[in-house]
Amino acid sequence: MADLSVEDKLPPFHQPLKSRSALDALFETPAFEYSPKTSRAFLAAMRAALDFQGGNASVLKALYKAEGFCPASVKTENDVPKIPYVFVAALKERDLTTLPYSKIVLELKSSGTSGQRSRMQLDKGSLMRVRRMAWRVFEGLGLTDLARAHDYICFTYDPEVAKDLGTAWTDKLLSGFTKKGEIFYTFRWSKEKKDFYFDLDGAVDAMARFEAAGSLVRLVGFPAFALKLTEEFKKRHGRYPKLNPGSSVVTGGGWKTLADEAVDKKVYRKILADNLGVPVANVRDLFGMVEHGVPYVDCRLGNFHIPNYGRVIARDPGTLEPLGFNKVGLLQFITPYLTSYPSLSVLSSDFGLVRPKCACGLPGPLLEIHGRAGVKKLKGCAISAATML
Secondary structure in 3-state letters for the chain: CCCHHHHHHCCCCCCCCCCCCHHHHHCCCCCCCCCHHHHHHHHHHHHHHHHHHHHHCHHHHHHHHHHCCCHHHCCCHHHHHHCCCEEHHHHHHCCCCCCCHHHEEEEEECCCCCCCCCEEEEEHHHHHHHHHHHHHHHHHCCCCEEEEEEEEEEEEECCCCCCCEHHHHHHHHHCCCEEEEEEEEEEEEECCCCEEEECHHHHHHHHHHHHHHCCEEEEEECHHHHHHHHHHHHHHHCCCCCCCCCCEEEEECCCCCCCCCCCCHHHHHHHHHHHHCCCHHHEEEEECCCCCCCCEEECCCCCEECCCCCEEEEECCCCCCECCCCCCEEEEEECCCCCCCCCCEEEEEEEEEEECCCCCCCCCCEEEEEEECCCCCCCCHHHHHHCCC
pTM of the prediction?
Answer: 0.90
pLDDT in the model for residue 383: 43
pLDDT in the model for residue 310: 97
User: Which residues of the chain fall below pLDDT 50?
Assistant: 1, 113-114, 256-261, 375-383, 385, 387
pLDDT in the model for residue 193: 82
pLDDT in the model for residue 7: 76
pLDDT in the model for residue 3: 61
